[in-house]
Structure 1
C-alpha cells in the first residue's frame, strides 16, 4: 500500500463528522508549548514527523488530540513500546516524559472533520486501514495521503478523526491550523497533569497500568 500513489481525482464522498462546541479533548505535549497551540513547524516531507503532519509540500499547523486522556497517553507514549517476554510490565523510559504534561482542552466552536473511522470511510478516500494503522516507517506516505485528502476536501475539512492505533476503543483527532478559526481550541484551566511531579507520575502510572506498562524505575 505505501507504493500506491493517490489517484488524480477523488471519486468517493468523504464522510463528514462534526465535533461539537464544548467537546473535551486531551493532549500530551511539551510543558514549554501552549496547550492549545498548533504546531507551526512543518515536518520533513520524507524523514521523521507524525502520521498527518504538515510539511513544506503542504504547510499547515497541526494539533493532535485524543478524545480521552488514555487515548492521548497511548498515542504519544506507547508507540512501539515492546512487551516484556518474561511477562513483566512494559517499561516506559523516563526520558519519554521529561518536560511533558497532559492538558485538557475544549473546542470553542463546532469543527467539521473527515472521518477515517470505518472501512467505508477509508474507502471513500481510496484507502484502507493501512492509512491509520501503519507504523512510523511509512509516515512519509501517510503524510502525502493526508495532503491529497486535504486538497480534495478544501475548504470544509478542518481535520481528521480515526480510531486510535494504540487504543482502538477510542478516537484520535488531528486539526488543521489553517482551517480552524483562531481560538477554536482553548485550554481548560487547572486540569493539566505535569509528569515531572510526584502526583503526575502516580497519575500517569494509573493510566498506563491497564496497558501493562509503567514508568521505568528511577536509576
Structure 2
C-alpha cells in the first residue's frame, strides 16, 4: 500500500475532486504583464516554449490525450527559481547540484493580450471549497489528483490558472494552456535574462540559495 500523501507540516493531505459545476473566480491578467520562468538550454527551448507533454505529472498538467501543452511561469524571478530549481529541495534546507542548474537559464515574457485565469488563491479557493494545502501546496505525490483541477479550468474555457507560489508565497505562479495561448501571444522580454552556469548570474543564484539555507555546489561531490 502506498503511503498517504502528507504536507510539509506532516499532516495528511486529501485532494478533493473539482466541484461540479466548476465556477471559479476568474482573474484577468492584463496585456503587457511580465512573467518570469526558468527553462532548459536544450535545443529548441526558449522562454515562450510550451511543454507538449514531456516528463511526469505536474501540479496542473498533463491532461487529455494528446496532452494540452502548458507553460509554467511566475510573477517574479525569485518565485520562478523557487518553483523550478528549488522546487524539490526540502524547505528545511538541502543542496543544489551543478546538474540541477548549469543547463538552466531564466527569461521573461510579456502577454500580448489579456488572459482569463482560474484563481486558485485567496477567496478563489474558498469559493471552490478547497484550501492551499490540498491543492497548491500539496506534495508531488498528489499530482495525479491536482491535475484534475487544471483540466477543470481548461474545460471551463479559461486560458490557464493562477495561484500563490507555495515556495515564495508573496508571488503568484501561473500555468497557461498552449491551445488557448499561442506562443505568438507571448512576447520575449529582451532586457532580462540569467545564465546560471557562469558569472554574476551564478553569484546571484548562490546568494539566493544561501538565503534559504540551500548549499549550491559548484562541483558534484
TM bucket (normalised to shorter chain) is: 0.7 to 0.9
- Which string of whole-angstrom CA distances, capped at 9 and with x for unpartnered residues, describes residues 46-103 of structure 1? xx3210112345721101001000000001122232366xxxx642122111311011
2:84 alignment partner in structure 1: 76
CA deviations 1:190-217 (Å, max 9, x no partner) are 4221111122211212333332224124
Deviation of the 1:184 alpha carbon: 1.6
Q: Say what the alpha-carbon RMSD is for the aligned residues.
A: 2.2
Give 5+ residue unaligned stretches, structure 2.
1-12
* Structure 1 residue 139 displacement after superposition: 0.5
Q: CA deviation at 1:141?
A: 0.6
Tell whether the 8 Å contact from 1:2 to 1:141 is kept in structure 2 after alignment: no
Q: Matched residues in 1 for 2:204 and 2:59: separation?
A: 27
Q: Distance in 2 between matches of 1:74 and 1:19?
A: 21
Q: Which residue of 2 aligns with 1:162?
A: 163
Could you say what secondary structure the match of 1:206 adopts? helix
CA contact (8 A) 1:42 1:56 kept: no
Contact 2:15–2:135, Cα closer than 8 Å, also in 1: no
* Contact preservation (8 Å) 2:116, 2:160: yes
The question of whether the paired residues in 2 share the 8 Å contact of 1:49 and 1:139 is answered with: yes
CA distance in 2, matches of 1:15, 1:77: 30
Say whether the 8 Å CA contact 2:105–2:194 is kept in structure 1: yes
For residue 153 of structure 2, give the secondary structure of its aligned residue in structure 1: helix
Unaligned runs of 5+ in 1: none
Q: Distance in 1 between matches of 2:23 and 2:15?
A: 23
Match of 2:200 in 1: 199
Moved more, 74-83 or 63-72: 74-83
The two structures have a TM-score, normalised by structure 1, of 0.84
Determine the structure 2 residue equivalent to 1:136.
Answer: 140
User: Normalising by the residue count of structure 2, what TM-score does the alignment of the two structures yield?
Assistant: 0.83
What corresponds to 2:38 in structure 1? 28
